Amino acid sequence: MTSALTELSLALRDGLITDRDVMDGYRHDQAIWAAGAGGSGGAGGWPLAVARPASTAEVQALSRWATRHRVALVPRGAGTGVAGGATAIDRCVVVSFERMNRIVAIDEAAMLAVVQPGVLNGELKAAARERGLWYPPDPSSYAVSTLGGNVATNAGGLCCVKYGVTSDYVLGLEAVLADGTVLRTGGRSRKDVAGYDLTRLLVGSEGTLAMITEITLRLRRQPPPSATLVAMFGSLEASGRAVAAIVRSVDASMLEIMDRTAIRAVERYRPLDLDTEAAAMLIAQSDAPGSAELSRMQEACEGAGATLVATTEDEGEGQLLLTARRLALTALERLGTVLVDDVAVPLPLLPEMLRRIEAIAGETQTTVGTVAHAGDGNLHPIVVFDRHDAAAEARAVTAFEAVMAQALELGGTITGEHGVGTLKRGLLTRQLGAASLALHHRIKDAFDPAGILNPGKVLGPLAGAKPGGDRA
């Protein structure tokens, strides 16, 4: 394989890493616990190399090389994913887009941006803000996650209840197929129904169909300053009832829930004078100035039995109130190894799902801290355990899988925004059904017949495809 890597090194100029110590940092995303897809355990397999292309032409050269030598390619953004989608496999080449990090253009008249996949979400937000524009999707990792990774998983965020998720803003893509063909989908028009919607197909495909090299994104006008409400509840179900009432009465721009475990973890990590005896905290925002939305949200919370309701129309104070929600995952990670679940259920069933999560935590004797994009019915039950305790790990896995099973039983999904990766592929058949899963495999085969693009992720490897080394 040495001669083949020398060939690849020449094609990528300074963009190839083979030093084992450096490659170690590219072997997995944040789902360190997730099983490796054909690799050596949860830490990920050992790649032959890490490729850092600097242009679409270099991605093409890399794809042609990989097809010729039957080497798997594992695309990677910033490694902030939590489902194992960027887990390396043995003898693959990890493809990092860190050098493709330019904002190519911001067209103020058309209200769109053209970016390379390595641009950080927060960087685009800042650049758009300077022009009086706004890029809404805001995953909690927005400051450090890449737009390519956001597109790959169809990331959402705190404001998605009103403004939608990544797919609602992707107008067009440039992508490279496994054989090096450049595919362009969509464009700059806001409406385009010519042919099959390949743009939507690639969004959320987790690097299994093509490698995205350029993204055209819709921008919006900056929203007005937000008013913020915080409410505390004596039960999770009461907070869920408040969410249902709010959604029926107003168009909130943010609607988030934290349970007692998450509240206490945050307060321990960074004291914010939170009520650690409350069963749940709801954080809501309205960006409709002069409307009655804030008072209606307050009425909904009080009607559901809130023990405390506080509001502010000062945007700075509102951002401070959001601090607890943004710190939740970091705070829970301080308690042990985490498995971040990402289920969603029909909105009326949110209170019932919250109740079932609480019951699962008790039955499995496992710490589960739940935060939720409640206005979408999208919950993140974060399972915490001691990885050095085999019994605790087994209970954690049981809790994690039970949460997904309960979401499916309620007519929901095993993932609302984080993707399937390796962590959840075992339950995908149950959700999709045999006919849908078979069609997924046929689509994968059409885009990537040799099965070299992120094999083992989402669907598992294609029958007969054995990438991962030189077979020339």
The per-residue pLDDT for range 147-179, each reduced to its tens digit, is 999 999 999 988 899 999 999 999 999 999 999
Task: Please tell me the pTM assigned to this model.
Answer: 0.91
Q: Which two tokens stand for residue 417?
A: 């925004």
Question: Can you point out the beta strands (E) in 243-317?
Answer: 254-259, 280-286, 308-312
Q: What is the pLDDT, as a whole number, of residue 99?
A: 97
Question: Of the ranges 52-61, 97-106, 410-419, 422-431, which one carries the lowest mean pLDDT score?
Answer: 422-431
Report the amino acid identity of residue 468. G
Q: Which two tokens stand for residue 429?
A: 């058949």
Q: What is the pLDDT, as a whole number, of residue 467?
A: 46
Q: Which two tokens stand for residue 427?
A: 């339950």
Predicted confidence (pLDDT) per residue in 415-462, tens digit: 999 999 998 988 898 999 999 999 999 999 999 999 999 999 998 654
Q: Alpha-carbon distance 3 to 251, whole Å?
A: 60
Is the model's pLDDT at 469 over the cut of 70? no
Is the model's pLDDT at 205 over the cut of 70? yes
Mean pLDDT of 248-253: 93
Q: What is the pLDDT, as a whole number, of residue 181?
A: 98
Q: Which two tokens stand for residue 227?
A: 């008013």
Q: Alpha-carbon distance 463 to 441, whole Å?
A: 9
Is the model's pLDDT at 332 over the cut of 80? yes
Predicted confidence (pLDDT) per residue in 273-306, tens digit: 999 999 999 999 999 877 799 999 999 999 999 9
Contact 235, 242 (CB under 8 A): no
User: Which of 221, 246, 227 lies closest to 290 in space, CA to CA?
Assistant: 227
Question: Of the ranges 57-61, 218-222, 350-354, which one carries the lowest mean pLDDT score?
Answer: 350-354
Distances in whole angstroms, Cα of residue 95 to Cα of each of 13, 207, 441: 14, 10, 23
pLDDT band at 43 (very low <50, low <70, confident <90, very high): low
Predicted confidence (pLDDT) per residue in 400-416, tens digit: 999 999 999 999 999 99
Q: Which two tokens stand for residue 231?
A: 């409410």
Is the model's pLDDT at 35 over the cut of 60? no
Classify residue 165 by its DSSP letter.
Answer: -
Domains of the chain: 103-221 (3.30.465.10), 224-331 (3.30.70.2190), 336-420 (3.30.70.2740)
Is the model's pLDDT at 239 over the cut of 50? yes
Q: What share of the chain in percent tops pLDDT 90?
A: 80
Is the model's pLDDT at 464 over the cut of 60? no
Mean pLDDT of 353-371: 96
Q: Specify burial of residue 179 (Cβ count, 10 A radius: 0-12, 13-18, 19+).
A: middle
Q: What is the pLDDT, as a whole number, of residue 460?
A: 66
Contact 272, 310 (CB under 8 A): no
Q: What are phi and psi of 202, to 5 degrees?
A: -75, -35
Distances in whole angstroms, Cα of residue 229 to Cα of each of 241, 256, 285, 323: 16, 10, 6, 13
Mean pLDDT of 227-244: 94
